[in-house]
Amino acid sequence: MENYNENDLAKIFKALSDPNRIKILKILIENQTEMTCGEVSSHLKLSLSTVSYHFKILRHAGLTKMRKEGHEKYLSVNQPLLNKLNLIPVIKKDFTLK
């Protein structure tokens, strides 16, 4: 995703439209390492199937990368893309819209 068209950006914005997906990105950024679905699930107190669903959407938007080892899937942030879009400071910040 070097050059972005409207469809690429729509996928990214759709992926960021859910608070749980933003929380997943925040956990991955703060831990600075790849994590399994189970690890993220226990952090957020969400079911494995819910987290797996969110993993898929984040990956299809290009916001995360996945590595498979056996039956386990490891997710990490796509650092170059998040940096290019300047999303890391926004995701890390705690704020409330008024």
pLDDT tens for residues 34-89?
A: 999 999 999 999 999 999 999 999 999 999 999 999 988 899 999 999 998 888 88
Q: Tell me, yes or no, whether 51 lies in a domain.
A: yes
Confidence of residue 5 (pLDDT cuts 50, 70, 90): confident
Q: Tell me, yes or no, whether 6 lies in a domain.
A: no
Q: Tell me, yes or no, whether 11 lies in a domain.
A: no
Give the number of other Cβ atoms within 10 Å of residue 39's Cβ.
Answer: 17
What residue ranges in the chain does DSSP mark as E strands? Answer: 35-36, 64-69, 72-77
Q: Tell me, yes or no, whether 1 lies in a domain.
A: no
Q: Tell me, yes or no, whether 5 lies in a domain.
A: no
CATH number, domain with residue 77? 1.10.10.10
85: helix, strand or coil: coil
Domain that includes residue 35, residue range? 19-91
Q: Tell me, yes or no, whether 13 lies in a domain.
A: no
Q: Tell me, yes or no, whether 62 lies in a domain.
A: yes
- pLDDT of the residue at 12: 94
- pLDDT of the residue at 1: 45
Q: Tell me, yes or no, whether 30 lies in a domain.
A: yes
Which candidate, 6, 24, 5, places its Cα nearest to that of 15?
24
